[in-house]
Structure 1
Amino acid sequence: MKQDKKEKRNNILYSVLGLVLGIAMCGIGIYGMILNRIESQEYKNATDKREVIAVVESCREIDNSDDKDKNKKNSRSVKYRTKLAFEVDGKSYEGEETYNQKVYVGDKVKVEVYRTSKGSYKLRPYNNLVNFVFYCVAIPLGFIIAIASVYSIRLIVKKE
């Protein structure tokens, strides 16, 4: 009897965690899509776009995949996530950028920046298709998880 109560409590706990996860996934998906859209529109409507020289402040490897190709025995694809510092009209700004080739701290790279509606400058947004698809999938998947969790909670409570 005591074991059944503990098991029931654990099932409710897991179902509530599933509900929270589902709601969080929906929220992240909606937030990401809105943020992606706002950045795209802000860049599109920017009146001041320019190229500046930025300095690499930090660099880390983010993607290391081995591709098997008929012509190459081992081809390595590596991407680097960098933190950049740049200056526009005497003011310093920071941003992040991804590169396919190795860059080192202290390297100078040419980047495109734009003036935001608030007057600051940001790096040009690169609307990544993978991120957009993730946001699109997160919403219905989170909704399904939340609905399944609510149904599970109802079944557990109904068994009392």
Structure 2
Amino acid sequence: MKVLSDKAQNKVICVFLLIGSIGLVVYGVTHIFSSIEYKLSSDVRHVTAVVKDYQISVKTDEKGDEDVKYHAILSFEVDGKTYTGKDVFSRDISRGDEVTEKAYRALNGEYKLYTGDIGDNITSVMMIPAGIIISIFLIYEIFGKSKEKEQ
């Protein structure tokens, strides 16, 4: 027994993909904003951060080589106040390890960890137009075809 027709299933899939493509745009814009915020910051300093938690991701290429990344949640202190941030490491880390990170004062006065320059993360810049193009296509798929069939 089918719950949804094929057309309805396609629309549901398109809606989820549309949400994902909008997420690409938001990710790209927030990363660009963070990079600009870092460049405008009047207070950039090196801090000692402590690894609070981490997750390991392993990607294997065609040759069988593994690329291991440690996605860490870090805690650091600036002027007596504790902040948290994230970073990715290629080397082995564990809870409690101390790492030196670059932190900057954001526009709201809080400190954030520096995540890299726009040039270093060109994929975040590319996500904006890709997300917009995919969104336009999906909006047409969801709303445009039904209007054409009505005529």
**Structure 1 stretches of 5 or more lacking a match?**
1-5, 69-73
> Structure 1 residue 22: deviation in Å?
5.2
Q: Which has the larger radius of gyration?
A: 1
TM-score when scaled to structure 2?
0.82
- Shift of the 112–59 alpha-carbon distance from structure 1 to 2, 3 Å rule, reads same
Q: Retained in 2: the 8 A contact 1:28–1:135?
A: no
- List runs of 5+ in structure 2 lacking aligned partners: none
Task: Report the Cα distance in structure 2 between the residues aligned to 1:105 and 1:10, rounded to whole angstroms.
Answer: 50
Deviations 1:101-141 (A, max 9, x none): 11111100000000011111000022422333333312201
Q: Which residue of 1 aligns with 2:25?
A: 30
- Are residue 81 (structure 1) and residue 74 (structure 2) matched? no
CA distance in 2, matches of 1:124, 1:33: 16
Distance 1:15 1:153 in 2: 12
Equivalent in 128, 144, 148 of residue 151 of structure 1: 144
Residue type matched to 1:136 in 2?
A: P
Give runs of ≥4 in structure 1 deviating > 3 Å.
none
Displacement of 1:85 in angstroms is: 0.3
Percent identity over the alignment?
A: 25
Q: Note the 1:124-135 alignment, pairs <5 A.
A: 124-126=114-116, 127=118, 128-135=121-128
Question: Which deviations, in whole Å up to 9, do the C-alpha atoms of 1:77-104 show, x marking residues without a partner?
Answer: 2111000000000000000100011111
Quote the offset at 1:67 in angstroms.
Answer: 5.4
> What is the CA–CA distance in structure 2 between the aligned matches of 1:34 and 1:131, rounded to whole Å?
8
Give 3-state SS (helix, strand or coil) of 2:115's partner: coil
Alpha-carbon separation, structure 1, partners of 2:29 and 2:61: 34
CA separation in 2, counterparts of 1:106 and 1:120?
23
Other-structure match for 2:133: 140
Aligned residues: 148
CA distance in 2, matches of 1:75, 1:23: 34
The reply to whether residue 43 of structure 1 matches residue 33 of structure 2 is no
C-alpha change, 1:20 and 1:75, in structure 2 (3 Å) is closer
Q: Structure 1 CA distance, aligned partners of 2:52 and 2:62?
A: 30
Contact 2:58 2:66 in 1 (8 A): no
CA contact (8 A) 1:52 1:86 kept: yes
How far did 1:18 drift? Answer: 4.5
Q: Paired residue for 1:59, among 46, 54, 60?
A: 54
Indicate the RMSD between aligned Cα atoms, in angstroms.
2.7
